Amino acid sequence: MPFIPHTQAEVAAMLESIGATSCEELFQEIPDALKIKGIDGLGPGLTEMQAWRLMQTLAAQDQSKLNFIGAGCYEHYIPAAVWELATRGEFLTAYTPYQPEASQGTLQVLYEYQSMLAALTAMDVANASLYEGATALSEAILMAIRCTKRASNKRILLPKSVHPFYRQVVKTMTSPQAVELIEVEFDHNGQISKQKLDELAKQEFIALVIPQPNFLGILEDVDFLCDWAHQNGALVIATVNPLAMALLKPPGEWGTNGADFACGEGQSLGVPLASGGPYIGFLCCKREYIRQLPGRIAGVTTDLDGKRGFVLTLQAREQHIRRAKATSNICTNESLLATVNTIYLALMGAKGLKQVAVQCHNNTSYLKEALRTMSKFRLKFDSPFFHELVLEFQKPVAEVLEHLAQQKIQGGFDLSIYYPELGNCVLCCVTETKSKQDLEQFIQALEKC
């Protein structure tokens, strides 16, 4: 085994000290009938170089030339400093700060992370992160139900303009608690249908989920939606792209009273696409709900000398204390990615972050304008957008994407699978990473589809 330091002589000395004659003897409490000789399907161990050679061949197969898929996972430029710092061994190989005096680095980073996320979303408080965007939305919904304490009704309005995978995850994670998810259709502009909302206003429900931007890349009328929900006695759960919040009105400022909870996926803040993870979910709320907030939270305190320090706080909500009565079963947060988010935000500042958001938007506008002159496909919705567009083709999307993939271009996300009403539609994303030449190349490739 490549990472065990013991020499044979040391093993012998240790066994003697224990009073055993062999390592096998240390497993004597396990019935012999259960013991196996080895694991099938494993060869001899590889050296680091052998492993590198093998994996390099595999990784090389997956290299694309240009990527225009977004759909919740976004390609952004990541300044070199971000991961150089985050992968320092002291951050990378530490564990949960259970001994705060030996973990002030991680704890202060988490406190700064919470402060930055609260600032971005204009919410009062944030936790120290959850797994990823979809599970964060699930936790926000369960939290809203706990905050309402209305046993007779567990209805949540979950618009179809929310990421289809998020809606599936929410269903899996909330159905055991008998949560009733009510779909709200989108209208011909790709926005939550106000007419459908009015039809639903007759029923009691606990919360309305508002995506900004929504899954189709379109901006929702957040002030109206937020006030509408509050006027109907419901809470508001925002699910937002945090990068866009440098440019767009943040949940805490929506409508008259602001959203009650804001959650989302933090991947766009310095985390690479990385084939799907690790990513990071965030969850913020109004101060009055903090005791129902799931997951770890870092807080300020003082030491014996009155010096400022940081600890994990409000742990009485959590599974290791409350067990079956905890706010959630969650234990792990995504500390490393919270560290990445924090360093990225510190480096970019409000100004740098807004520039990235605007560049994404302007590059997307460039593509949108270019598309107007083309005949093979059209823009499905002409509504305000952030950095994604829905294109409608005259043939099945699978053919188009296949054709582009042959040129190592990822053309977008096939909407026809999850939105049958959007047959032949693809969701394309353009971020700040795309130059004019990249966009021209994409447009030419599209024309040949």
Partner 1 sequence: MLIFEKSVANRYPKSQMSAEDIDCSDIPNKLLRKTPPKLPEVSELQVIRHYSRLSQKNFSIDTNFYPLGSCTMKYNPRGVHKIASLPGFLNRHPFSHLQQSQGFMQCAFELQNVLAHITGMNKVSLCPLAGAHGEFVGIAMIRAYHQAHGDLQRTEILVPDNAHGTNPASASMCGFKVREIATNPDGDINLDELRAALGSQTAGLMLTNPSTLGIYERNVQQIADLVHSVGGLLYYDGANLNAIIGRVRPGDMGFDVMHLNLHKTFATPHGGGGPGGGPVAANASLAPYLPVPMVSLVDGQYKWLTELDCPNTIGRITTCMGNAGVLLRAYIYILMLGQEGVRRVSEIAVLNANYLMRNLVKIGYTLAYPSRMATHEFIITLSKQYKQFSVNALDFAKRIIDEGVHAPTIYFPLTVPECWLIEPTETESKQELDNFLRLMQEFLHEAATNPERLKEAPLNLPVKRLDEVKAAKDINVVWSGSM
User: Considering beta carbons, is residue 274 or 374 the nearer one to partner 1?
Assistant: 274
Confirm if 373 and 366 have CB atoms less than 8 A apart. no
Q: Is 304 in the site for partner 1 (CB under 8 A)?
A: yes
Q: Is 274 in the site for partner 1 (CB under 8 A)?
A: yes
Binding mask 165-204 for partner 1 (x = CB under 8 A): xx-xx-xxx--xxx--------------------------
Strands 388-393, 425-429: parallel, antiparallel or unpaired by DSSP?
antiparallel
In Å, what is the CA distance from 160 to each residue of 50, 126, 239, 422?
48, 26, 13, 12
Q: Is 27 in the site for partner 1 (CB under 8 A)?
A: yes
Smallest Cα–Cα separation from 143: which of 294, 266, 268, 366?
A: 294
Binding mask 312-341 for partner 1 (x = CB under 8 A): -xxxx-xxxxxxxxx-xxxxxxxxxxxx--
Amino acid at 228: W
Q: Is 420 in the site for partner 1 (CB under 8 A)?
A: no
Binding mask 235-264 for partner 1 (x = CB under 8 A): ----------xxxxxx--x-----------
Q: Is 42 in the site for partner 1 (CB under 8 A)?
A: yes
Q: Is 423 in the site for partner 1 (CB under 8 A)?
A: no
User: Considering beta carbons, is residue 376 or 403 the nearer one to partner 1?
Assistant: 403
Binding mask 130-149 for partner 1 (x = CB under 8 A): -xxxxx------x-------
Q: Is 300 in the site for partner 1 (CB under 8 A)?
A: yes
Gap between the Cα atoms of 379 and 393, Å rounded: 9
Confirm if 265 and 280 have CB atoms less than 8 A apart. yes
Burial class from Cβ neighbours inside 10 Å (0-12, 13-18, 19+) for residue 77 reads: exposed
Contact pick of 185, 198, 204, 303 for partner 1 (by CB under 8 A): 303
> Shortest Cβ distance from residue 76 to partner 1 (Å)?
12
Gap between the Cα atoms of 328 and 131, Å rounded: 13
Q: Is 413 in the site for partner 1 (CB under 8 A)?
A: yes
Instruction: Indicate the Cα dihedral angle 21, 27, 32, 37, nearest 10°.
Output: -90
User: Considering beta carbons, is residue 230 or 414 the nearer one to partner 1?
Assistant: 414
Q: Is 402 in the site for partner 1 (CB under 8 A)?
A: yes
Gap between the Cα atoms of 300 and 188, Å rounded: 49
278: preceding bond cis by omega (within 30 degrees): yes
